[in-house]
Structure 1
Amino acid sequence: MDKTIKILLLLGTILRIGFLLYGLWQDKHMLVKFTDIDYSVFTDASRFVNQKQSPYERATYRYTPLLAWLLVPNITVIPEFGKILFIICDLIVGYYIYEFLKMFKVTSKVMIISLTSIWLLNPFVITISTRGSAESILDMLVMATLYCFATKRLILGSILYGFSVHFKIYPILYSLPILYMLDSNYLGVKAKLFNSARIKFFLLSAGTFFLLTGIMYKIYGMEFLNETYFYHLIRKDHRHNFSIYFYQMYLSMSVTESFFSKILGLLTFIPQMLLIVLIGLYYYKDIIFCCFLQTYVFVTYQKVCTSQYFMWYLCFLPLIIPQSKLMKKPIQAILLIIAWVATQAIYLSSAFKLEHLGQNNYINIWLTELLLFVANIWIIYSFMKNNNNTPIFSEGKINPNKITKPIEYKNK
């Protein structure tokens, strides 16, 4: 580990400790708590596990039992153990980002530091982890998976991928582009459609997923499958969130759900899944950009979307910026950032009036969600239009033209 990443990790750690300590103060002295309500859910589930009971005794626990097992020290050691764990995973993601940028031969030291700081020194990212959101665990697993594939550790990468999908189902989106990526460019030799790398990936990742899922099913039964996986297919959250479907779900909560309304709920997955499959087929050679785009589309079209979900695609952002033509279009890049931040701020302002001032402004919230949706579509389109779609792998190794050919940087 070189000096640069050590300094960045140290700064990131100091900031996270500061946010963590501030959060403890706010929780004690202010009406609006800093700690995410989900952290209380995790802790309660861990308490049940510690008492040899099911974590699903805690209403609204919708995660793999592994998370509750991991956080048992919340009960037996200190209540902040989980937050510390999330911070560590958060920092590991930053380390992987730094290593990827070096691997892609970004030649400017200043550029590498700036891009790594997008994650490590980002107050949004820091806040999510220190509030007690577990998203950094999954971000770490996904980044570790891709890093293993990039360094040709196919077996470990496949196992980590299976673990990731078990932990939270959405990384299954990456299965198609990963399978397609394992071609002649990746292997460095002429490869068949059903080559050994693809077979290994399929068997090991699927085997890991089904092994873990089978163990959890053996212990907790059908309740585990219903709460961890099936629930998310039919989930309806009438409380305000970033989804464009929020108002429709809010209105439907007051009537008995018909068969038609259930079908309509499932139909919302069609545009989401169609776009994700098409992106996977078109961008699979540029696997990291592909994962970024698939995740961004998945989050944007979700039936239920909270700010934690943004972490799923933000971890890829520092890795796709160097190859983007937006690097040569600073005005457009700034406008995209403003659009992403401003539309969220407008939404949060309306949500605050509902949540804390008691104003009946559901229509206004929905309109701000539509505005946010349009902004996200513009951002997605801009990244697609300005991506050079250069394959990551060529002749069995990292493509030397991935970064340095499309955009030249001067050494610093």
Structure 2
Amino acid sequence: MVINFQSVLIFSTILRVLLILYGDWQDSHMEVRYTDVDYLVFSDAATLMSSGESPFKRTTYRYSPLLAFLLIPNAVFHYSWGKYLFSAADLLVGYFIRSILKLRGVPEKICTYCMMAWLFNPFTFTIGTRGNCEPLVCAVILWIITCIMRGKVYQAAIWYGLIVHFRIYPIIYALPIILVLDPRFIQSGQKPMLVNWSSHQEKSPQCLDDTDPSSWTVLASFFSGTRILFGLISGAVFLGFTGLFYYLYGWEFLHEALLYHLTRTDPRHNFSIYFYHIYLHYEHELSILEKLVSFLPQFTVQLVLMFIYALDLPFCFLVQTVAFVAFNKVITAQYFVWFFSLIPVVLPWSKMKMKWEGLSCIVIWMGTQLHWLMWGYLLEFKGKNVFLPLWIASLLFLAANCYVLIMMIRCHRYSPIFQRLSTTLKDSKGRLKVK
């Protein structure tokens, strides 16, 4: 069988349809369900909305009403509608991975293999078929990158405002997007000039420093029309949807869909190093100092990564996401899909060898996660008092995430997505030319 874009997409589609059908059978015939418990929550909220009631009447529904609206066909058409929708978004992620790499001049064969790294990842092809909504978020994030690379900044702004409303965590990408919209790289009315992948195979990162200024330098000309309009449009979309649903559902919407995620604490099902402290103080409000201590490491790491790698936007998104998840107060397995969707779009710029560095990253990350799950199983299913060993396992998992992050950075070839517009001239017809 020839490995090409069409065959990979067809096989991926068939695989996901079969998994959804199998999941329906397992739910009906086995004690352990294939369907994600969150999908039950989404479906119940959609049923409430279809009957004219608030989706927030469903306990633990803490998402935008947009999600319940998208799943109304679950109640009126077929219960597995949402799984097919999320799996379609999953396939769309693969398509956008290929689109981004093609725009950057990556050869077709490498594009196909990078796309397969997402489509045939067991973690990712099961998450959509089990009914988790994260592929929708991943697809929109990659589409935003695509729009920016094509110079469709205002379209990107609309989608960015929408996705931050839908799932609050993409707010961390705001500053890198603003920084990459540098007028020295993008000129109004002109398609941005992309840096070709092949040029970076012949240059080391040091060779690029004289032509590609760091994001610290970009701050000197921070305020520009494009940046201001991006902020205004994305902000208006976010506030528009938020205002609409506040009008429809009141304070309950604000608290459950937005504010809850800013203050969320979870003493169980949580890979975070903060879970043990949260468990010990679960019935007491965390002090301002405690909240600040947990927030500062995350904020500091994010800030450093933003300013160093913002111009290399896909890689910046990747390392930001890994760091955000690793240092968050709450970490669940579904969060990992956020950065799994970004890894393929930076693979062609990685010098990491699979035999040693790559294998060590996989073994250490998976090993520490399985170690945590062993203690988590003893706590959740056997009722053992293993909170201290579980906390130590969380520390090891944080160390593993930091190791993987450092290895990604060390092995990455820094590659700004846009060429610097050093000189502009006009031809005989008055059109802009870039030198």
* Aligned counterpart in structure 2 of residue 305 of structure 1, from 331, 334, 337: 331
CA deviation after TM superposition for structure 1 residue 339, in Å: 1.3
CA contact (8 A) 1:185 1:393 kept: no
Structure 2 length as normaliser, TM-score? Answer: 0.85
* Aligned counterpart in structure 2 of residue 214 of structure 1, from 230, 239, 243: 243
Structure 2 matches for 1:6-17, cutoff 5 A? 6-17=6-17
Q: Secondary structure at the match of 1:187?
A: coil
CA contact (8 A) 1:46 1:71 kept: yes
CA deviation after TM superposition for structure 1 residue 208, in Å: 0.8
For the pair shown, the structure with the greater C-alpha radius of gyration is 2
2:284 aligns with 257
Q: What per-residue deviation string (whole Å, max 9, x for no partner) do you get for residues 70-91 of structure 1?
A: 1111111111111110000110
Structure 1 length as normaliser, TM-score? Answer: 0.90
Letter matched to residue 92 of structure 2: I
1:105 aligns with 105
1:403 aligns with none
1:56 aligns with 56
Cα distance in 2 for residues equivalent to 1:16 and 1:309 = 20
Cα distance in 2 for residues equivalent to 1:365 and 1:29 = 33
Q: What per-residue deviation string (whole Å, max 9, x for no partner) do you get for residues 337-357 of structure 1?
A: 111222222222222233333
Q: Secondary structure at the match of 2:128?
A: helix
Distance 1:224 1:267, change over 3 A: farther
Cα distance in 1 for residues equivalent to 2:343 and 2:7 = 21
Residue 272 (structure 2) pairs with residue 246 (structure 1): no
CA contact (8 A) 1:74 1:82 kept: yes
Cα distance in 1 for residues equivalent to 2:257 and 2:369 = 28
Residue ranges of structure 2 left out of the alignment (5+ in a row): 189-217, 423-435
How high is the sequence identity, in percent, across the aligned residues?
39
CA contact (8 A) 1:233 1:266 kept: no
1:405 aligns with none
CA contact (8 A) 1:272 1:297 kept: yes
CA contact (8 A) 2:351 2:412 kept: yes
CA contact (8 A) 1:86 1:136 kept: yes
2:119 aligns with 120
CA deviation after TM superposition for structure 1 residue 46, in Å: 1.0
2:199 aligns with none
Letter matched to residue 160 of structure 1: W
2:375 aligns with 350
Q: Secondary structure at the match of 1:318?
A: coil
- Using the TM superposition, name which of 342-351 and 372-381 deviates more: 342-351
Q: Secondary structure at the match of 1:184?
A: coil
* Aligned counterpart in structure 1 of residue 412 of structure 2, from 366, 377, 387: 387
Letter matched to residue 174 of structure 1: Y
Cα distance in 2 for residues equivalent to 1:23 and 1:243 = 30
Cα distance in 2 for residues equivalent to 1:359 and 1:257 = 24
CA deviation after TM superposition for structure 1 residue 362, in Å: 2.4
* Aligned counterpart in structure 2 of residue 276 of structure 1, from 293, 302, 316: 302
Cα distance in 2 for residues equivalent to 1:51 and 1:176 = 40
Q: What per-residue deviation string (whole Å, max 9, x for no partner) do you get for residues 79-135 of structure 1?
A: 11111100001100100001112122223x432222110111111101111111100
Q: Secondary structure at the match of 1:317?
A: coil
* Aligned counterpart in structure 1 of residue 234 of structure 2, from 205, 209, 213: 205
Cα distance in 2 for residues equivalent to 1:140 and 1:40 = 22
1:165 aligns with 164
1:29 aligns with 29
Cα distance in 2 for residues equivalent to 1:310 and 1:378 = 16
Residue 262 (structure 2) pairs with residue 233 (structure 1): yes
Cα distance in 1 for residues equivalent to 2:30 and 2:389 = 28
Q: What per-residue deviation string (whole Å, max 9, x for no partner) do you get for residues 16-58 of structure 1?
A: 1222122222222222211111111111111111121111111
CA contact (8 A) 1:15 1:121 kept: no
Structure 2 matches for 1:288-327, cutoff 5 A? 288-327=314-353
Distance 1:244 1:296, change over 3 A: same
Structure 2 matches for 1:70-89, cutoff 5 A? 70-89=70-89
2:46 aligns with 46
Q: Secondary structure at the match of 1:63?
A: coil
CA contact (8 A) 1:324 1:387 kept: yes
Residue ranges of structure 1 left out of the alignment (5+ in a row): 398-412
